Amino acid sequence: MKNTRTYKSALFRCATIQAGFWDGVVVDKQMIDTRGAADYWTSEFLQSNLKNTSAAGTKRVAVALQIALKDATDPAIQQELINASQLVLNRHGQVTSAKKIVQDLSLTQGAAAAIAKAFVRPTLYDSTFKFDREEFKACLVFRSVQLDNGVMLTAENASFDRVIDVTRTRNSEKTRFTTEGNIVSEKLRKSR
């Protein structure tokens, strides 16, 4: 501890001495940026790791975004969530949490609530992990198809084939895409 404002602190608790001390919390007030606690201190001195592996933490956030997208009925929130799922890819290698991502991307209260609600337990919303771009892309990716008649179709990759029927038209090189659903938004845009 250097002084009352810049210090490192770790707390591991357990009911009995025989078993436990498997997890704890650390505070590092000596870090000048927002990367979390210093690696040399947590991994070398405390010989600890983040409770979540990169893959598990990243996949959890991807799944939460997927659920939030599926449940969102407000088109503005849907668009925000789609944008967030693209912007978050820049965080590869950063120690973060769903809550931190939401704050850093300045998502609206509606989008933040939709993501927070999608976690199995509320504490997981604020649980830290190291973001893994490849894992995220493997879990949540959007497939877009652009046709030569100017139409563009976009759907989440995992459900694309389920929500959009794709058939080749007879005696033609053309492809027919068929889908049905309720219209939740319709607007004019200047660009794609």
Partner 1 sequence: MTKSLKDLYRQRYEKVLLPIAGDLEEILTDHLKSGPHIDRITVRAKTPKSFLAKAATREKGALKYKDPLGEIQDQLGARIVVFYTSDVRPISRSVTKYFRHIEMLNKEPKSESEFGYFGKHFILALPEDAIPRRVKLEAAPKVFELQVRTLYQHAWSEASHDIGYKPGRKLKKVQKRNFALTAAQSWGADRIFQELHKALRKKNA
Nearest distance, CB of residue 62 and partner 1, angstroms: 12
Q: Does 30 bind partner 1 (CB under 8 A)?
A: no
7 vs 52: CA distance, rounded Å: 24
Which CB, 23 or 161, lies closer to partner 1? 23
Q: Does 120 bind partner 1 (CB under 8 A)?
A: yes
List the one residue from 3, 5, 15, 192 that touches partner 1 (CB under 8 A). Answer: 15
List the one residue from 36, 37, 42, 60 that touches partner 1 (CB under 8 A). Answer: 60
Q: Which two tokens stand for residue 145?
A: 């198809």
List the one residue from 3, 5, 40, 121 that touches partner 1 (CB under 8 A). Answer: 121
With 0-12 / 13-18 / 19 or more C-beta atoms within 10 angstroms meaning exposed / middle / buried, residue 91 is buried
Q: Which part of the chain contacts partner 1 (CB under 8 A), choosing from 13-21, 73-81, 102-110, 150-158? A: 13-21
**Letter for the amino acid at 128?**
T
List the one residue from 22, 32, 169, 178 that touches partner 1 (CB under 8 A). Answer: 22
Nearest distance, CB of residue 82 and partner 1, angstroms: 23
**Beta carbons of 115 and 125 less than 8 angstroms apart:** yes
Residues 6+ apart with CB under 8 A from 57: 50, 97, 127, 128, 129, 130, 131
Q: 29 vs 2, 34, 41, 75, 113, CA distance in Å?
A: 10, 10, 12, 40, 29
Which CB, 23 or 165, lies closer to partner 1? 23
Which CB, 50 or 116, lies closer to partner 1? 50
The closest of 44, 46, 33, 38 to 100, measured between CA atoms, is 33
Q: CA 88 from chain center: how many Å?
A: 7
**What residue ranges bind partner 1 (CB under 8 A)?**
14-16, 18-20, 22-23, 49-53, 55-56, 59-60, 120-121, 123-124, 127
